[in-house]
Amino acid sequence: MSELCFEARRLEYAYGGGPAVVRDVSLSAGQGSMTAVIGANGSGKSTLIRMLAGLLRPRSGTIELDGVAFDKWDARLRARRVAYVPQATATAFPFQALEIVLSGRAPHAERFRLESGRDVEIAMEALESVGAAHLARRAFIGLSGGERQMVVLARALAQEPRLLLLDEPSSSLDLKHRTDLIRTLLRLRRKNGVSAIMITHDLQLTGAFDQILALRCGEIAALGKPEAVLTEELLGEIYGDPKVRSQRVGEQTLVWVEL
């Protein structure tokens, strides 16, 4: 299995003919790397990760996967390498959770053939890895927001990707499941060398990541190790609040706003 090499250089994006909402952003992901993307609402985080996933075409800049332009990859082959987890997934049909996860096997399936027994095994393993195996036969539309998010994450894992792109996957999760999410990412990195680029507002989760990319008004405000980015000065600038406080405790950084 070859090592992952994913690199974005000087990305810029604008909606319609408006001003750029992302400007001059560069980011790379190597094998087993974990990057958190933080910033205030409207800072360009979701636009950036949708560009990285190939859902938006940059106005300028380049994205390469293993040295080949991202949009030159065959869609099925690219989906075996990179999986995207959106903020929310809606479906109007009463699919079971297992069926949703099985759709993640599409890049590996032969055309015009139903999923194999092995595909079902992989889908169940993905559900189990996120603590959602008990939801397999439940209707997706009947699940809570947090349960749906775990199923969607399992669908991405069923693709067996080398890189996960996650857009605020913990926003609907309680404390236990947020912790389980990070444990799952760390386990995938250790076991399979999977990399992750994850948008999050939960700064307490970012201590487990190798680096943090902080965006402010669509531009890079900081890029570095958690202890270098999660400082009161930088966080106050990023979120526009001088009362943001941080304290290093062992390997973690606690962050709060002074009232």
Domain of residue 61, CATH code: 3.40.50.300
168/248 same-domain check:
yes
Confidence (pLDDT) at 111: 67
Write the DSSP symbol of residue 16: T
| Residue 94 domain boundaries | 89-160
Confidence (pLDDT) at 112: 55
Would residue 39 count as lying in a domain? yes
Query: What is the distance between the alpha carbons of residues 96 and 121, in angstroms, rounded to a whole number?
Result: 16
Would residue 182 count as lying in a domain? no
Q: Confidence band (pLDDT; 50, 70, 90) for 192?
A: confident
Q: Is the pLDDT of residue 33 over 90?
A: yes
46/103 same-domain check:
no
Q: Is the pLDDT of residue 10 over 80?
A: yes
Query: What is the distance between the alpha carbons of residues 200 and 122, in angstroms, rounded to a whole number?
Result: 27
168/68 same-domain check:
yes
Query: What is the distance between the alpha carbons of residues 64 and 9, in angstroms, rounded to a whole number?
Result: 9
Query: What is the distance between the alpha carbons of residues 31 and 196, in angstroms, rounded to a whole number?
Result: 9
Q: What confidence tens digit (pLDDT) does each residue in 78-119 have?
A: 999 999 999 877 776 789 999 999 999 989 877 656 678 899
Q: Per DSSP, which regions of the chain are E strands?
A: 5-14, 20-30, 34-38, 60-65, 68-69, 82-85, 163-167, 195-199, 211-216, 219-224, 244-249, 252-257
- Among 160, 186, 218, give the residue marking a domain's end: 160
Would residue 221 count as lying in a domain? yes
Confidence (pLDDT) at 181: 87
53/96 same-domain check:
no
50/93 same-domain check:
no
125/148 same-domain check:
yes
Q: What confidence tens digit (pLDDT) does each residue in 120-147 have?
A: 999 999 999 888 999 999 999 999 888 8
Q: What is the mean pLDDT of residues 19-30?
A: 96
Q: What is the mean pLDDT of residues 13-19?
A: 91
55/115 same-domain check:
no
The domain total for the chain is 2
Confidence (pLDDT) at 1: 45
